[in-house]
């Protein structure tokens, strides 16, 4: 109930504060309202004739496929880490459930700081690929070292902190990549595809760790899989070419608020 209350509160605020259409948003400056309204009208007209073609074209786009595969391996690592971290710490330390819960919270605190710092750096430099790849490399290194030194609790938790920093800090850079070469309905559809394919990794990661730990009696093999998944994700994202010439879009209207980061 405690975790659900913020969602309920902000949901109620959203109902009364956010509007259905830009022209109803009194909190937007007049020029921004006019630009958004015009942009939406032009996109609606464009997609009547070329929407399906653009969406299918986006689905065949090399970078969209690479991003979907990248996200599969990222989510595999994220979910595997989240599901099995307490069990790994419990087995390594033999501590009580309360102490295990407290220890398990430490890496997430580090991850929170990392996602803010990496997001700030990515926006400041307007660089996305390395701000996604380097966190995943850090996650890969942290995971394998954590399970290698699991008999030394402090060192192992420190490596899990490194892994958590990477596992969560990838987010700002990664989700800025699709709109660096896609826009309009093509971007929306492709982001949905990337998210759908990627979330299959949420099934794979925890199950692979569970299967390997059950059949080997050790978490090493499962965490090795998570580490390799993070490394593969880093390699895939570095192979992405987000060239401006590849950008798929419906309209090319100037924005009153300038070019955003990406």
Give the CATH number of the domain where residue 209 resides. 1.20.1250.20
Distance from C-alpha of 128 to C-alpha of 140, rounded to nearest angstrom: 19
What was the pLDDT predicted at 247? 43
- Residue entry with tokens 């990477």: 166
Q: Is residue 121 part of a domain?
A: yes
Q: Is residue 246 part of a domain?
A: no
Distance from C-alpha of 33 to C-alpha of 248, rounded to nearest angstrom: 24
Distance from C-alpha of 76 to C-alpha of 99, rounded to nearest angstrom: 27
Q: Is residue 211 part of a domain?
A: yes
If pLDDT is split at 50, 70 and 90, which confidence band does 54 have?
low
If pLDDT is split at 50, 70 and 90, which confidence band does 208 have?
very high
Based on the structure, what is the number of domains in the chain?
1
pLDDT surpassing 60 at residue 189: yes
Assign 133 to helix, strand or coil.
helix
Q: Is residue 87 part of a domain?
A: yes
If pLDDT is split at 50, 70 and 90, which confidence band does 20 have?
confident
Q: Is residue 7 part of a domain?
A: no
Domain range enclosing 68: 62-241
Q: Is residue 96 part of a domain?
A: yes
If pLDDT is split at 50, 70 and 90, which confidence band does 21 have?
confident
Q: Is residue 17 part of a domain?
A: no
Distance from C-alpha of 196 to C-alpha of 114, rounded to nearest angstrom: 26
Q: Is residue 163 part of a domain?
A: yes
pLDDT surpassing 80 at residue 260: no
Assign 26 to helix, strand or coil.
coil
What was the pLDDT predicted at 209? 93
What was the pLDDT predicted at 60? 77
The set of long-range contacts for 174-178, using a CB threshold of 8 Å and a minimum separation of 24, is: 174/67, 174/70, 174/71, 174/74, 174/128, 174/132, 174/237, 176/122, 176/128, 176/261, 176/262, 177/63, 177/67, 177/128, 177/129, 177/132, 177/237, 177/240, 177/242, 178/64, 178/67
User: What mean pLDDT do residues 161-174 have?
Assistant: 94
On whether the pTM is more than 0.85, the answer is no
The pLDDT mean for the chain works out to 83
């Amino acid at each position: 109930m405690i975790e659900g209350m913020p969602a309920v509160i902000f949901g109620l605020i959203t109902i009364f504060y956010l509007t259905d259409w830009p022209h109803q948003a009194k909190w937007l400056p007049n020029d921004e309202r006019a630009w958004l309204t015009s942009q939406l009208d032009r996109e609606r007209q464009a997609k009547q004739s070329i929407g399906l073609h653009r969406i299918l074209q986006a689905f065949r786009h090399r970078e969209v496929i690479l991003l979907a595969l990248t996200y599969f391996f990222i989510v595999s690592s994220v979910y595997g880490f989240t599901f099995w971290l307490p069990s790994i710490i419990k087995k390594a330390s033999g501590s009580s459930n309360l102490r295990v819960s407290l220890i398990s919270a430490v890496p997430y605190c580090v991850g929170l700081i990392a996602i803010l710092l990496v997001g700030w750096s990515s926006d400041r430099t307007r660089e996305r690929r390395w701000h996604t790849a380097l966190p995943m490399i850090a996650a890969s290194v942290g995971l394998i070292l954590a399970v290698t030194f699991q008999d030394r609790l402090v060192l192992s938790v420190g490596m899990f902190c490194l892994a958590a920093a990477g596992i969560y800090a990838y987010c700002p850079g990664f989700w800025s990549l699709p709109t660096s070469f896609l826009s309009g309905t093509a971007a929306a559809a492709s982001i949905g595809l990337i998210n759908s394919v990627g979330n299959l990794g949420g099934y794979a990661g925890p199950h692979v760790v569970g299967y390997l730990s059950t059949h080997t009696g050790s978490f090493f093999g499962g965490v090795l899989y998570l580490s390799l998944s993070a490394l593969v994700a880093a390699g895939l994202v570095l192979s992405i070419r987000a060239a401006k010439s590849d950008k798929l879009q419906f309209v090319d209207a100037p924005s009153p608020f300038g070019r955003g980061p990406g």
